[in-house]
Amino acid sequence: MRILIVDDERWWIDLYRKTLEKEGHTVHFALSAQDALECIDQQTPDVILLDFVMPGGNAMVLLHELQTYADTKNIPVIISTSLSHAKNIAADFEKYGVHIVLDKATVTPKKLKEAIGAVQV
Amino acid sequence: MSEEGERQRYEQTVLCEVPSLVVAAHELKAPLALIRQLSLVLRDEPAEVSLRDKDVRVLLERLTATSERSLRLVEMLTRHARLEDGLFELEPLHIGQVCEDIAHEIMPLCRVSGQKVEVRLPKRTTLALANRELLKSILFGLCDNALTNNQPEKPIVISSFSHAERIRVGVRDFGPQLSKSSFSTLKERLGKEAQPLGKRPGSSGLGLYIAGQFAEAMHGSLGVVRHQDAGATFFVETPMSAQLSLL
């Protein structure tokens, strides 16, 4: 699968990428919502792994944009966040294609793989 | 409900107004979560696919840098809580020496992120009337911010100059140019109370808020300059020491 990681912290990108590439996925990354939109323009990912709070616009900016276009509105999104009320985000943003929320404080490579597997079509 | 209405409802219920303690907890949780992940990689890498020494070194450096960042935040929070006790006395400080110290202390973070720091000082000796701990805390935080935003091709620059009985020490990064609206918001909110997480994309502003409080405790102020070409300079201003006139 083609997975786009969107996170302003490179070290998180490296950690996720390591796990995902081991599973045979093709991984791209973007450091901001704006960069992510440019990446998506060039090549549509199969899944987006999205940090929730980033400089230049949080995940909401990206989620709203994705819903605007027919070829991006159905891309499954996994939110990755340190926010303590992560579960609330999942409930509020299901309609934006957010299927799963991973808490950065408790995520493991196994949970990440399970999340990707869960949204795989 | 309209998109704008939905966004407002979201900001109220999900990213609601939170007290500073919750903001501080989040700011600490983020690096601790990263430390945990880095440790998991070191612990769980299968024996048959061992990490190269270089990879281990990189992971350990990142672990160290992230845990030090957390410790510094805890120190800043502790100092902030003690500001009202009047424990932070002001003294004449050689600004050049302070800047060189900071450049030396930030080197490990620079190394881990593959960046450099440069110090540019005026030829004339300048003494600021400030508290060493508070000033270094502010400057280290500004440097850490600059490293996060900077493009690696250029070094971050620590510089100082004096004007009208005040000394300004600035940290310049060459990252993406701030938009006029972002800059305007930033300038308005600089040093003010940390904002709800949704209103300030990327960070709560807790570090800058505490830095602003430290600056005020030294009868100084925090400021920011947006550059036309790239990046910004965040600076702290303090009174000049009258002792300079005795030199």
Ordered DSSP codes for B135-195: HHHHHHHHHHHHHHHS-TTS-EEEEEEEETTEEEEEEE--SSPPPHHHHHHHHHHTTSPPP
Q: How far is CA A51 from the centre of its chain?
A: 6
Q: Does the predicted interface ipTM exceed a cut of 0.90? A: no
User: What is the per-residue pLDDT for A97?
Assistant: 78
Res. A92 pLDDT band, cuts 50 70 90: confident
Task: Evaluate if residue B198 carries a pLDDT over 50.
Answer: no
Question: Which one has a higher pLDDT value, A120 or A29?
Answer: A29
Q: How far is CA A63 from the centre of its chain?
A: 10
Residues B70, B77: Cα–Cα separation, whole Å = 11
Give the distance from residue A34's alpha carbon to the nearest chain B alpha carbon, in angstroms: 12
**pLDDT tens, A19-71?**
999 899 999 999 888 889 899 999 999 999 999 877 655 677 788 888 888 88
The token duo for B204 is 């709560």
Question: Which one has a higher pLDDT value, A94 or B49?
Answer: A94
Parallel/antiparallel/unpaired status of strands B221-226 and B232-239:
antiparallel
- Residue A5 has φ and ψ, to the nearest 5°, of -100, 125
Least confident range of B96-100, B191-195, B206-210: B191-195
Residues B4, B2: Cα–Cα separation, whole Å = 5
B5/A contact by beta carbon, under 8 A = no
Cβ-Cβ contacts under 8 Å, B201 against chain A: 53-58
Q: Which amino acid would we find at residue A15?
A: L
The token duo for B170 is 């600035």
Chain A nearest-CA residue for B42: A15
- As a whole-number percent, the residues of chain B with pLDDT over 70 amount to 82
**pLDDT tens, B98-140?**
999 999 999 988 988 889 999 999 888 789 999 999 999 999 9
Res. B199 pLDDT band, cuts 50 70 90: very low
User: What is the per-residue pLDDT for A21?
Assistant: 93
User: What is the per-residue pLDDT for B193?
Assistant: 64
Cβ-Cβ contacts under 8 Å, A9 against chain B: 34
Indicate if the alpha-carbon torsion angle A69, A70, A71, A77 is positive or negative: positive
Task: Evaluate if residue B38 carries a pLDDT over 70.
Answer: yes
Residues B168, B221: Cα–Cα separation, whole Å = 9
User: What is the per-residue pLDDT for A47?
Assistant: 94
By CB atoms closer than 10 A (0-12, 13-18, 19+), residue B132 is middle
B114/A contact by beta carbon, under 8 A = no
List the single best residue of A8, A53, A61 to mutate versus B (max B Cβ within 10 A).
A53
Cβ-Cβ contacts under 8 Å, B66 against chain A: 11
101-120 in A: which are within 8 Å (CB) of B?
104-105, 107-109
Question: Which one has a higher pLDDT value, B31 or B14?
Answer: B31
A26/B contact by beta carbon, under 8 A = no
Is A105–B22 a contact, with Cβ atoms under 8 angstroms apart?
no
A16-24 contacts, C-beta under 8 A, 24 or more apart? A16/A49, A16/A80, A16/A112, A18/B41, A19/A109, A19/A112, A19/A113, A20/A112, A20/A116, A23/A113, A23/A116
Give the distance from residue A55's alpha carbon to the nearest chain B alpha carbon, in angstroms: 4
Res. B195 pLDDT band, cuts 50 70 90: low
Residues B115, B2: Cα–Cα separation, whole Å = 45
Is A104–B7 a contact, with Cβ atoms under 8 angstroms apart?
no
Task: Evaluate if residue B95 carries a pLDDT over 90.
Answer: yes
Q: How many CA atoms lie within 13 A of B105 on its CB side?
A: 18
B188/A contact by beta carbon, under 8 A = no
Residues in chain A: 121
Residues B179, B169: Cα–Cα separation, whole Å = 23
Task: Choose among A11, A89, A105: nearest Cβ to B29.
Answer: A105
Distance (Å) of CA B204 to CA A35, B18, B80: 22, 11, 16
User: What is the per-residue pLDDT for B124?
Assistant: 82
User: What is the per-residue pLDDT for B50?
Assistant: 61
